Chain A
Amino acid sequence: MNVALKTSQPGPAPDRLFAVARDRLPGAGPVAQARARAFEAFAQQGLPNRRIEQWKYTDLRAKLGEVAPLAPPPGDTALAGAAAAVKKLAASSGALTFVLVDGVYAASLSANATTVPGVRVRSLREFLDDPAEAARAEVLTSGAGEAMESLNAAMATDGLVIEVAAGAALTSAIRLVHVATRSAASAFTRSVVTVGRGAQATVVEQFVAAPGAAGYQSHDALVVRLAEDARLQHVRLMEEALDAANISHAYFTLDARARLNSFNLTRGAGLSRYQGVVTLAGEGGELATNGVNLLGGQRHGDTTLLVDHQAPGCVSREAFRSVLDQQGHSVFQGRIVVRPGAQQTDGKMMTRALLLSDEAEIDNKPELEIFADDVSCGHGATAGALDQTLLFYLMARGLPEVDAQAMLIEAFVGEAIETIADDAWREVAFDAARRWLSARD
């Protein structure tokens, strides 16, 4: 199914989009001003099209058509649908679950984090409405002023603000579940995670649809800061409805010796863009960012990553896999920037695509921009079909063709999924991949 809305059908003018939503957007004073500025930045640029270099392969103006109007706040039916959808999802035992329904924090479906030592969780609404929070406008100005980032900042209705205290070693994962119950409407969410000095945490994001939700849009942003020596395992599993659109941004900033392991699975949505920026701001930071795109039908999945080495002695590793069937289209843009002075940088990026059909398409755009002289950086890319020799070996041992293919595909994406350090979440990710393998949609 094609998610592109008809461009000939004029939607609400950009100004109206904001004007209509304004009353529902939390935060007064500096927050409201930041939103207005962000909206202005979006309105001036409009939806990005292929003439914008960064959006060359994912022309939102053509594919999305327009930004759907803000979804109404969830009522009882929506909450019940969301509760059922969350219940069906697998999770690690003891995970602290927080649910956002159509972009609105649902306390009734969420854990009570006040009892868990070392972590504080609030809704973004509460955070933005709190005049005592001096930094509250800052969370809306994380991006570089690019159109979709600006739109998210302007329109974010809710999200979570998660603060892990210095030195805390959380044993339970913190889990954010985004549930869509709406059709033909948008949700805008923005969440903030800070991991204090020397603290350790696992944060999981899941995007799913309640039964019946169709043709909707999810616009999300995640803003993460790791203080010195902090460690974070981040797992993002995107399983939106297959005719939905998901436009997400993630910003990670690592202070000295912080370690981030971030994994993304794109298994849902007909149109998606996952745009990540990782800034290695302090000496000795370590980053592993891995991803898998599973795309069949006419689905289009774009992963765009920028790894910005600003400090010396940091290590970054990117492993990206895509598996494409029918007319699936995967885009991977990976850029490693090494700033002057970021000596002894060790940055490697590898992307591999498996094409199961002649009509599938992959666009790979790796880029290295190096402004320091003592560095070791590299990237590689491959694309190809399943190895027929391996396939025959498995079949000669009794595996029917589809099972043999599934085994090889699972091994292929497994190289990325295996990087998830947490056993339980690694299995959840494998299960999500297997769900796609049995449907290839």
Chain B
Amino acid sequence: MALLEVKDLHVRVEEREILHGLTLTVNKGEVHAIMGPNGSGKSTLSHVIAGKPGYQVTDGEILFKGEDLLAMAPDERAAKGVFLAFQYPVEIPGVATMTFLRTALNAQRKARGESELSTPDFLKKVREVAARLSIPQDMLRRGVNVGFSGGEKKRNEVLQMALFEPSLCILDEMDSGLDIDALRVAADGVNALRSPERAMVVITHYQRLLDYIVPDVVHVMSKGRVVKSGGKDLALELEASGYAQFEDAAA
């Protein structure tokens, strides 16, 4: 059984259809890249998978481990193993990062019927992961993402990914706003999480990120559909020839 199956998905935002019958299958152990010009609907797809309100699914379905994902609240999806690393992680003043991480992790464990992690075990785990991602301890004491640089926010997303150990990671434009060093740190963090039990969907506008996170499958999205799929060479092809050739295919 595929880990994620998106079938003929039609999605509207405020009466305008954004996704026009999108189909995508991701198996565990695979890394998929979704590339496409701005406005092609990449973030919309990631939001609908994560359960963000404000989108109407008018047709199609999303199965996750064979279950109807669209019937679940966002927190249930998270507990089942769906993780979206946001393109724009939000700042939450007044909620200490450490408190947030612990509450979220324990909420997921509770939903799965697992026991809460003890404080020492939790701290040990966070420290390990944080050290790997060069996240200083004082960042964890601050409000969630408050005063973090762009790179720090993205690393905080990767930190959560490592901590929650989801089975599906969707990374939305992880490279946006990052310089090459910051990108490398974040990509290393992601690569460390690659595993036969886990799948990743890497959404990006540029080929650059895929030099660091090498995909198994590349999809090209245009105007709300997947218009072409192929191996990792497809990304290089796109880099050379641009997206223009696909504009017609999607029309």
Q: Which residue of B lies closest to A393 (CB)?
A: B90
Whole-angstrom distance from the CB of A426 to the nearest CB of chain B? 14
Residues of A within 8 A of B89 (CB): 393
Cα separation A399 to B79 with both chains bound (whole Å): 9
Q: How far is the CA of A276 from the CA of B82 in the complex (A)?
A: 51
Choose, from B25-33, B97-105, B182-190, the stretch at the interface. Answer: B97-105
Q: Is A9 an interface residue (CB 8 A)?
A: no
B36 at the interface (CB under 8 A from A): no
B208 at the interface (CB under 8 A from A): no
CB pair A396–B78 under 8 Å, yes or no, is yes
Report which residue of B103, B105, B108 has the largest number of chain A beta carbons within 10 angstroms of its beta carbon: B103
Stretch in A62-70, A227-235, A293-301, A403-411 touching the partner? A403-411
Alpha-carbon distance A396/B86, docked complex (angstroms): 10
Give the total of A residues in contact with B, Cβ under 8 Å. Answer: 22
Stretch at the interface among A214-222, A374-382, A384-392: A384-392
Q: In the complex, A410→B94 CA distance in Å?
A: 8
Cβ–Cβ contact B75 & A401, under 8 A? yes
A396 and B103 contact, Cβ closer than 8 Å, known pairs A389-B90, A390-B90: no
User: Which residues of chain B are near A395, meaning CB under 8 Å?
Assistant: 51, 73-75, 78
**A399 contacts which chain B residues (CB < 8 A)?**
75, 103-104, 107
- Point out the residue from A389, A394, A396 that lies within 8 Å of B84, measured CB to CB: A396
A408 and B164 contact, Cβ closer than 8 Å, known pairs A397-B104, A398-B104? no
Main secondary structure of the interface of A (DSSP, over half): helix
> Which one of A388, A393, A411 has the greatest number of beta carbons of chain B within 10 Å?
A393
B196 at the interface (CB under 8 A from A): no
If A392-B53, A403-B103, A407-B100 touch, whether A397 touches B78 (CB-CB below 8 Å) is yes
Q: Does A167 contact B (CB under 8 A)?
A: no
Q: How far is the CB of B151 from chain A (nearest CB, A)?
A: 19
B213 contacts the other chain (CB 8 A)? no
A436 within 8 A of B: no
**What CA separation (Å) do A174 and B104 show in the bound complex?**
38
Q: Is A415 an interface residue (CB 8 A)?
A: yes
* Chain B residues with CB below 8 A from A396, complex form: 50-52, 74-75, 77-78, 84
Taking a contact as CB atoms closer than 8 A, the residue among B52, B93, B94, B160 that contacts A397 in the complex is B160
A72 beta carbon closer than 8 Å to chain B: no
A412 within 8 Å of B by Cβ? Answer: yes
From known contacts A408-B95, A414-B94, infer whether A398 and B108 are also in contact, taking CB-CB under 8 Å.
yes
Contacts of A412 on B, CB cut-off 8 Å?
A: 94
Task: Give bound CA distance, A66 to B159, whole Å.
Answer: 60
Complex formed: what's the CA distance from A415 to B146 in Å? 14
Say yes or no: is B92 at the interface (Cβ < 8 Å to chain A): yes
Tell me whether A340 is interfacial, beta carbon within 8 Å: no
Asked if B111 and A398 make an inter-chain contact with CB atoms under 8 angstroms apart, the answer reads: yes
* Cβ–Cβ contact A407 & B95, under 8 A: yes
Q: Which interface residue of B77, B104, B108, B164 has the most chain A CB atoms within 10 A?
A: B104
**Closest A residue by C-beta to B163:** A397
Residues of A close to B79: CB separation below 8 A? 398
Complex-state Cα separation, A393 to B90, whole angstroms: 7
Whole-angstrom distance between the alpha carbons of A389 and B160 in the complex? 18
For A398, list chain B residues within 8 Å (CB).
75, 78-79, 104-105, 107-108, 111, 164
Are A390 and B92 within 8 A (Cβ)? yes
Q: Which residues of A contact B164 (CB under 8 A)?
A: 397-398
- Known contacts A396-B84, A398-B75; A411 and B53 CB within 8 A of each other: no
Quick check: is A400 within 8 A (CB to CB) of the other chain?
A: yes
What distance in Å separates the Cβ of B54 from its nearest Cβ neighbour in chain A? 8
Q: Which of B91-124 contact A (CB under 8 A)?
A: 92-95, 100, 103-105, 107-108, 111
A401 to B104, CA, bound (A): 12
Cβ of B53 and Cβ of A388 under 8 Å apart?
yes
Q: Which residue of B lies closest to A411 (CB)?
A: B94
A388, A392, A394, A415: which contacts B94 (Cβ < 8 A)?
A: A415
B111 cross-chain contacts in A, Cβ below 8 A: 398, 400
Given A401-B73, A401-B75, check contact A393 B92 (CB 8 Å): yes
Kindly name the residue among B73, B74, B79, B95 whose own CB sees the greatest number of chain A CB atoms within 10 A.
B74
CB-based contact B51/A408 at 8 Å: no
The smallest C-beta distance from B200 to any residue of chain A, in angstroms, reads 17
Produce 1/0 per residue, B68-82, CB < 8 A to A: 000001110111000
A389 to B88, CA, bound (A): 11
Given A400-B75, A401-B73, A411-B93, A393-B86 contact (CB < 8 Å): yes
A393 contact set on B, CB distance < 8 A: 86, 89-90, 92
- The answer to whether B103 and A407 touch across the interface, beta carbons within 8 angstroms, is yes
Chain A residues with CB under 8 A of B104: 394, 397-399
Q: Which residue of B lies closest to A397 (CB)?
A: B104
Interface residues of A in 214-271 (CB under 8 A from B): none
Q: Complex: how many Å from CA A388 to CA B143?
A: 18
A411→B95 contact, CB < 8 A: yes
Q: With CB as the reference atom, state the residue of chain B lying closest to A418.
A: B94
Q: Mask for B43-70, Cβ within 8 A of A = 1, else 0?
A: 0000000111100000000000000000
Q: Could you tell me the distance in whole angstroms from the C-beta of B156 to the nearest C-beta in chain A?
A: 11
Q: How far is the CB of A385 from chain B (nearest CB, A)?
A: 13
Alpha-carbon gap, A396 to B69, bound state (A): 13
Bound-complex Cα distance A400 to B52 (A): 14
Cβ A411 vs Cβ B92 within 8 A: yes
Beta-carbon contacts under 8 Å, B124-155 to A: 143
Query: Would you give the shortest CB distance from B103 to chain A, in whole angstroms?
Result: 6
Sample (10) of A-B pairs whose CB atoms are under 8 Å apart = A392-B74, A394-B100, A396-B84, A397-B104, A397-B164, A398-B108, A398-B164, A400-B111, A401-B75, A408-B92
6 tightest Cβ-Cβ pairs between the two chains A and B: A411-B94, A398-B108, A398-B78, A395-B74, A397-B104, A398-B107
Known: A395-B51, A396-B74, A400-B107. 18 other contacts (CB 8 A): A388-B53, A392-B52, A392-B74, A395-B73, A395-B74, A396-B52, A396-B77, A399-B103, A399-B104, A399-B107, A400-B73, A400-B111, A401-B73, A401-B75, A403-B103, A403-B107, A411-B94, A411-B95
